[in-house]
Chain A
């Protein structure tokens, strides 16, 4: 049973590489080198310091304009820090339409791209106690903090058995 599966993998990998919607590799989203220290300190405390490549500039601006009501929390920053982080996010923002229109407030888990990438994740897993929130990238992507989202790194055993993208 394992044999034919293994033989199919390179083909699937090749096909995946051809259809990936992001410019370089959708599973490698390293933090851009010009990230100000405030980005990780301020945005990476309560959640992953999300890759700026995953929302468009208008959506990042919307997020950064409403920090006093940030998904139920008051995450206000001083204006200098706010501007610095917004400029960084906008500099590296997505330009593709599949990453646009993330809702209001924008959620990077609502883009067409994100939903497509995760279309095979069963509903029950999103509600799993280990996950809590779709924004909890690290629950499944064991190396999310390092900007790596490769299938082989999936941290939950049930996901490693069935590739979800």
Chain B
């Protein structure tokens, strides 16, 4: 938690950029404090990305807006607005602004998953999106 807070406060105060690796590591460290031995997994992240939560009718899964692949540009399922790819490989600014990352996890997890996402899920997700080929 401390590490995430540190990253977050850096971002809000100085708009400091972080790398996806640093952000993922901060979430992983928080997850490890909750469950000792936690290691982030791109495979679990991929499963999470593909899972059909079906909480929201129009946004049942991540893919509803972000397509089947984080490398592809997406489209908002309700408004139709274009969404840039999630993968840093395709869109360099992804996972570089800790406050923005937290904001969208908060909003999208509430909307799509129906609850807040855990630090472990966030760490897995970032690793999956960063590793996407």
Residues of A within 8 A of B (CB): 46-48, 71-75, 130-133, 135-136, 138-139
Contact = CB atoms under 8 A, between A and B. Distances in A.
A161 to B, nearest CB: 22
The 4 nearest A-B residue pairs measured at CB: A132-B80, A136-B80, A47-B79, A133-B79
Contact of A74 (B58, B76, B107): B107
Contacts of B78: 46, 71-73, 132-133
A105 to B, nearest CB: 14
Contact of B79 (A74, A130, A135): A135
Interface in B71-109: 75-76, 78-82, 107
Contacts of B76: 46-47
B121 interface: no
Contact of B81 (A71, A72, A138): A138
Given A73-B111, A74-B107, A74-B110, A46 B79 contact: yes
The secondary-structure label for the interface of chain B is loop
Interface residues of B, number: 11
A133 B82 CA distance: 13
Interface of B: 58, 75-76, 78-82, 107, 110-111
A48 B76 CA distance: 11
A75 to B, nearest CB: 8
A71 B58 CA distance: 12
Given A73-B111, A74-B111, 10 more contacts: A47-B79, A48-B81, A71-B78, A74-B107, A75-B107, A130-B80, A132-B79, A133-B78, A135-B80, A138-B81
7 contacts: A46-B81, A73-B78, A74-B107, A131-B80, A132-B78, A132-B80, A138-B82
A136 B110 contact: no
A134 B79 CA distance: 8
Nearest to A132: B80
A2 to B, nearest CB: 33
A133 B58 CA distance: 13
